[in-house]
Structures are given as structure tokens and as C-alpha cells.
Amino acid sequence: MRREHARRAVIVAIVVIAAVALMPSPAAAAESTESVYREPDQVLIDIVDAPRTPTVSLSPDRERLLLMTRQNYPSIEDLARPELGLAGQRINPANHAPSWTWSYVRLAFVRVSDADERVVAGLPEDVRVGNVKWSPDGSRIAFTNTTADGVELWTADVERAQAMRVLGPNVSLTAQASPTWMPDSERLVVCLVAEPGRAPVLDVPGAPSGPTIQENLGEESPARTYQYLLENEHDEELFEHYLTTQLAIVTLGGEVVRVGEPAIVWNFDPSPDGRFILVHALHRPFSYLVTARRFPTAIQVWDLDGNVVHEVADLPLRDQIPIARNSVADGPRRVEWRPDAPATLYWAEALDGGDARVETEERDRVFLLEAPFEGEPVAFATLPLRYSRVLWGHEELALVREWWWQSRTVRFWKVRPGSPGADPELLIDYSYEDRYNDPGTPVTIRNAYGRSVLMTADDANTIFMIGEGASPEGDRPFLDAFDTYNNETTRMFRSEAPYYEMPIAPLNKEARELVTARESVEEVSNYFVLDLADGAARQLTLFPHPTPQLVGYTKELIQYERSDGVQLSGTLYLPPGYEPDQGPLPMVMWAYPREFKSASAAGQIGDSPHRFDRVGWWSPLLWLTQGYAVLDGPTMPIVGEGDEPPNDTHIEQLVASAAAAVDEVVRLGVADRHRIAIGGHSYGAFTTANLLAHSDLFAAGLARTGAYNRTLTPFGFQAEDRSLWEAPEVYFAMSPFMHADKVNEPILLVHGLADDNAGTFPMQSERFYNAIKGHGAVARLVMLPHERHSYRARESLLHLLWETSRWLDTYVRNAEPPDDAAGSGAGK
């Protein structure tokens, strides 16, 4: 697939293929297939070009906010630069960095005490900031600046709001590692380009030395459908060259001390006391079937001279992990430093061989090993479900999280690190799909090492929990105090209408003051400090409304029922100025189904009527500006209670959910039954195609970057963990490609030619289009050069909206009622 992409990458204009049925005349045909980028209505252009609301980060000492403004959309020329796709990594060979990541172009600090804002000075005019990290003491931030020739390391002093370059451009970002602070806040650990003077030949040699050979000696090695894998020895050489780096420690003055020899350092982490570095280093033999994160990995502890003082494990190639959910690799995994100790490792190991299909009472065990890493690891906790993580507090309190996908179970066990023999106490036990009873997430705070640990009150037993607060009236975020000794909860804050207000962090151990992000339907999210004693609020940021073109629309959370009794919901939007006496409107529905094990959980409300909607190219709310009503996120749950797999009745439940949504908006008088489009992205595109194939509910479809033939993802997809050979009838029934002859409504297919998402390779849309075309249906295929699973170039985005606007106006706004207009269209 990567070779096919490389061939297509020479295309410099958009490829647009249309079905003949779409073109009423030769002149129109010439216009609609011209290979140029088009632009939509100016109001849509203005929304795409709207300034970004900054991303916000709270300092470790909770005295400053860092405001980070993201760059606008890049040009297609930016995306067309050369890249290498190697074992799942997409690399720009010119600068040893990812070929594309979103960057920040403006930084500012806001003082929490008085909201004083200072813009960071000293940044280059064309700065591309990434990998931002606070120093442990909160006095500085470190970040990278990616240039055309390489990556630089920079820092900024918080008090002076002044940036300075530390070194570069010789920092490498080709793996998962990025510059990381040492605990003294005066040095950083970085990966440097190992051989900056040598560049390998990028083209495949014309005369290979022999065939490319793969062999399996009887081991089960199922794998998901990955993109950009290694394909031959030349790829292996390129991978080794670009991912081999030199680990180094760098002072703020730019002094470099190399640590050890060059290696394929996948990730690293200095110990909390700064004496050691935990290194994950990849090595041969590589694989042509899985991505780099599953390559053989040596997990080692190095001293600051690069000597290996301990090897936790040398993991083999991990290409035999079963596809069943909750299956993991055998051997040590999630190897980390304990954040509340100077230099203690902890990790988990599977007791079931990593196979979730094995019936056992003990699933995982967590181990500890303290420096100097001598003797046997100490068993810290044995778990009946799959290990997730540990939240460390102090010697008398840590929380071990486990989970199990098949039952949707999440549990937190209270353990006492200072008493290894003490029995763990089950503290929290719930289903993660039961949002109404979700207790929230424990609040953490940075300790003296700069590491995240549980935030506890003065009694050392009470922790704080922040949650979405799902309820029948919508999400109402909360802050709770949870006494882990008495197992008692006290509510300290809950969001109140007309706002959606999310707690960010308490400012002190007793949580008397709370930083929140507050928004409403017409007010973008801004940051406040709340005094929980008297409710007084002090505003910290003043972000403006980014899309004033949409001020005045109406928003309503609607609820309705599926034919089998499952409760459904969706968010209904009507254009600014709409009055009921105007009658029903054309409508866009935007959907994405989810699987559930419980019908009651499937019927829970999953949104808030008070949230501010961030609208961009991806949002169906764009079409409010064009006079369409929008039903966003109509729930389409696929329920399989007990041992019943949800997907065994996927199509029936999908169509029933869509029919209920259509009936409800028609009953409300806001939508014309015969002028409704269904659309979605990725699994939503797959849903769109299935609804057109198996119902006559919709006038047209908008399908972006989907997978339509499930036989091309034979080892599972989405929440389906059975293989094609275990459930062939399910794969066939759920594949729109297999039912292309039933698609008789116009469908617009859009796909990025460089899509690297597992399973949604571009061929999915191409072959589905060909199948539809072969049966004489109305279809249009738009392949966007250089675009991935989500689109980025401004030219691509504007052209996408031009295509969509044209499609909606032609086949939805101006649609004629079908001959059987009296029918419901719930099935074919």
C-alpha cells in the first residue's frame, strides 16, 4: 500500500472521479471533474479560517496558565513534502521529525492570582512549537521548534516570559521520545540525530539482491490491517538509519553530554531522583506485518554514563498477540518509574499468557523493583482483571486500576505500598458504559520530583474526583471529595445551567478554590477561579467567540425511543432566525454508532444542552449557515446483552435507530422526511453506506474516509474481536461493499490518499465506488492527495466543503419526493 501511495503522491491536484449519472451534460461533466481545488460559500471559508481558541495548560505549582495558540491549516504544498512511511512511523527525512504534526505559533503565560497575561517573547517569526513540557519546579517550559532543516530545543522562562534556543537543529523526533526534564529543572534528556552528516539513498535500488521472503513456522500471528509497514531490506535500512539516535543530557546553556552509544531509542524516562534513565530500545529482527511498537525491545536501566545497570526484559517480536480485546503481550509491560520514590520500577505481567480467552481467576500481577535493582522483583498486587495503571499517593495509599472489556468493568483497588503483605481493598467497581454512575477520575498533583501523584487532603485519606457527571438532564461535571478510609463521598461542586463548567484542578489541598473551564451555548470555554465557599468567580481568560457567523442558532437535546424500546437521543440544531411557521427544513444527520452490553446504558444521555459547539470543517453544524437543520450524534447503539455479540444484529439495530431518528424530527416538524442526508467520518462513513444499502430513509449520503469491505480487515475491526473465519456471516452482512447493488441513493465518497488509519486504506473507497458505479447508482469519489485519516490542507478542506455543499443542494435541498412517498423507508 505504501508503494501505491508513493506513486499517487506525485499528483499535485485533486483527483475527482464522478459517476456518469451525476453529469447531466458534457459541459457540466467537464466542469465537475476538472482537477482543480474549488472553494465554497464565503461564510464557510470564514469558518475554516477562524482563529483558534488557545489550548491551556496549568503549571505544576498551579500559579500560571500556559496559553498555546495552534497554527492555521497548512497548504497543500506543506503536505506534499517528501516523507518516509516506515513501520507505522511517517518521517520527514530532511529534518528527522514526523512528516506532519500540529504546532503552536504563539505562547503566553497568565498568572492565576491576578489574570495578568504576558506573551512569550524571543520566538522565531515562523516558529513551530511542539512537545511542550513544564519543568518540575514550574519555573520554565521546554519545547521543540521544527524547521525545514531540523528540530531545535528551546526553553522559556515563566517569570520573564522570554524564550531562548538551547541547541539544534539536531534533535530527533522520529520515535516516540521527546525532550524530557531532569528533576533538577536545569537539564533535559534528549535524543539527537546519531549521524547528521550521512543521508542514505531514499530510492529503492533498481536491482534487488533477491526476493523478499517471510516465513511462519506454525505460530498463530493474527494482526490488524496496518499501513506503512516495512516491505524489504531497503526499508529496514532506512528505519534503522532514521530511528537510531544518540541519547544525551543537555544543560540550559546548551552543553551536551552524550549518554551511551547510539541506539533505536523508542522511549526513555529519567528516574525521579535523576540517577538513572529507563530506556526502551528497539532492535532486529524487524517485522513486515506489525508496526514498530511491536518490534523486539530491550527494556533497560542506564546510568548517566550509558552503562546498563539492569535489564528488565528483552522482549521478542510481539506479533502473536491474540486479537481478542484485553489480550496483551506476554512478559513485562507498562514498565515505569514509581513517581513517589527515588528510583523504583514497577510493571505488570500477564498470568494468562496475555490471552484474554483463557479462563482464570488471576489475570495480571504488578511487580516492584527498587534500586540498585538486585534480587527478585516484589509482587505488589495480583489482579483478577487486566491491569491498567497505578495512581500513587504515599506509603499508605495507592490505587490500582483494572478493567475488562468483555464486561465493561472498571475497578480501583486500594493498596498500601508501605505494607506489601496487606490485602488490597476494592474501592470502586462500575461499568464504564454506565455513564450515570461513573465516579470520575482521581485528581493528581506534581510532587517534589515533578511527577504526578494523588492529590490528598490533610487527612491523607481523602482524594478528589473529577467527572463528566452524566445524568438524564445531560452532562453536569463535578468535583467530589472521596474519603478512601470510610468510603464516603462529599460533593464539592456541580455544574449548573445555563453553563457547562468542567473542573480543571483544585488550587489547594482542601480544594477551597477551583480552576474551571466554563462555557455555554453562545460563550466559548474560558477559564475561571471559583471560591467554593461563596461561589464567587474570577475570570482568567477572555477568549472571543471564534465563529460569530453561527450566533443565534437553537440547540435542543431530544429524546425518543427505538422500536425495541431502547431509549435514544440526539442534539437538534436549527438555523439562526428559524421560526416554526417556516415549515420543515432539509436536514443533515451526522452519526457514529457504538456497541453496548446493556440496553439501559445504551439509552443514557451522553451530551449537554449547555455546551459550546466548536465548529470547523469537520462539523455538520456548518450547514446551519446554508439553511439546513442538523441532528448531530443521533445515538445508534448496537446492543448485545449477556453472551450475545452486538454485531450479530448490527444492521437491524442500525436501521431501527435511524428510522426512530427520522420519525422524531419529522414528528417535531423541523425536517422534511424526503430531504434528509446521512453522513459520517470513518466508522460513521461505514454507517452511512450501510444505511443507504439497507434502508430508504435518506435522500443522499456523505461518507468520509470509511471502510466498506470488512473482508479486508479479517482479524477484527472496531469493537468486533472475532475474525472473518470465526464469524463470516457477520463480516458479510456488515460490509456495504457486499450490498452495493442495493445502494440506490446518491452517495459522496471522500478519502485521503495517504490515510494511515488501520483498516481504512484508500482502496476501500475506490473499490466501493467501482461497485456502486457498476450497478448504475449515482456516486462521486473524491480522493484528496497527501491527506490522512483526518484532513489538514486548507485547499483540501475548502474543496471538501464545496463538494458537500454541491451534493446537498443537488440531492437533498432540491430532492423530489419518491414515488412511494407515503412509506417510512425503514427497510429495503
Q: What is the 3-state secondary structure (H, E, C) of 686-726?
A: HHHHHHHHHCCCCCEEEEECCCCCHHHCCCCECCECCCCCC
Q: What is the pTM of this model?
A: 0.92
E strand intervals along 244-396? 245-251, 256-258, 264-270, 276-282, 297-303, 308-315, 333-337, 344-350, 364-370, 378-383, 386-394
Instruction: Show Cβ contacts of residue 319 under 8 Å, excluding neighbours closer than 6 positions.
Output: 221, 223, 287, 289, 290, 294
- Rounded Cα distance between 814 and 779, Å, is 17
Smallest CA-to-CA distance from 673 within 585, 564, 788 is with 585
**What count of other Cβ atoms lies within 10 Å of the Cβ of residue 228?**
21
The secondary element (H helix, E strand) that includes residue 601 is helix 599-602
pLDDT score, position 215: 83
Phi and psi (nearest 5°) for 502? -100, 120
**What count of other Cβ atoms lies within 10 Å of the Cβ of residue 519?**
21
pLDDT score, position 13: 31
pLDDT score, position 18: 32
pLDDT score, position 217: 80
Q: What is the 3-state secondary structure (H, E, C) of 724-772?
A: CCCCHHHHHHCCHHHHHHHCCCCEEEEEECCCCCCCCCCHHHHHHHHHH
Distances in whole angstroms, Cα of residue 316 to Cα of each of 221, 243, 266, 299, 331: 13, 19, 15, 11, 9
Catalytic positions are 682, 755, 789
Task: Measure the CA angle with vertex 712, ends 709 and 715; round to 5°.
Answer: 120
DSSP string, 563-589: TTS-EEEEEEEE-TT--GGG--EEEEE
Is residue 199 within 8 Å of residue 193, measured between CB atoms?
A: no
Is residue 547 within 8 Å of residue 47, measured between CB atoms?
A: yes
E strand intervals along 207-261? 245-251, 256-258
Residues of the chain with pLDDT under 50: 1-31
- Rounded Cα distance between 328 and 344, Å, is 24
Grid cell at residue 482: 472521596
- Rounded Cα distance between 497 and 476, Å, is 9
| One-letter amino acid for residue 536 of the chain | A
**What count of other Cβ atoms lies within 10 Å of the Cβ of residue 242?**
23
Grid cell at residue 160: 520573564
**Strand, coil or helix: what is 294?**
helix
| One-letter amino acid for residue 600 of the chain | S
Distances in whole angstroms, Cα of residue 277 to Cα of each of 72, 197, 460, 805: 37, 27, 30, 54
Grid cell at residue 238: 532506512
- Rounded Cα distance between 535 and 513, Å, is 10
The burial of 795, by beta-carbon neighbours within 10 Å (0-12 exposed, 13-18 middle, 19 or more buried), is given as: buried
DSSP string, 41-89: -HHHHHHHTPPPPPEEEE-TTSSEEEEEEEP-PPPHHHHTS--EEETTE
- Rounded Cα distance between 393 and 456, Å, is 8
E strand intervals along 93-159? 97-98, 104-111, 117-119, 129-134, 140-146, 151-157
Smallest CA-to-CA distance from 369 within 403, 337, 344 is with 344
pLDDT score, position 197: 66
pLDDT score, position 548: 93
- Strands 671-681, 378-383: pairing is unpaired
**Strand, coil or helix: what is 562?**
coil
Phi and psi (nearest 5°) for 289? -115, -20
- Rounded Cα distance between 584 and 670, Å, is 4
**What count of other Cβ atoms lies within 10 Å of the Cβ of residue 769?**
25
- Rounded Cα distance between 206 and 203, Å, is 9
Grid cell at residue 191: 535524543
**What count of other Cβ atoms lies within 10 Å of the Cβ of residue 447?**
19
Phi and psi (nearest 5°) for 26? -55, -35
**Strand, coil or helix: what is 349?**
strand
Grid cell at residue 692: 443507504
**Strand, coil or helix: what is 354?**
coil
- Rounded Cα distance between 293 and 586, Å, is 47
Is residue 202 within 8 Å of residue 238, measured between CB atoms?
A: yes
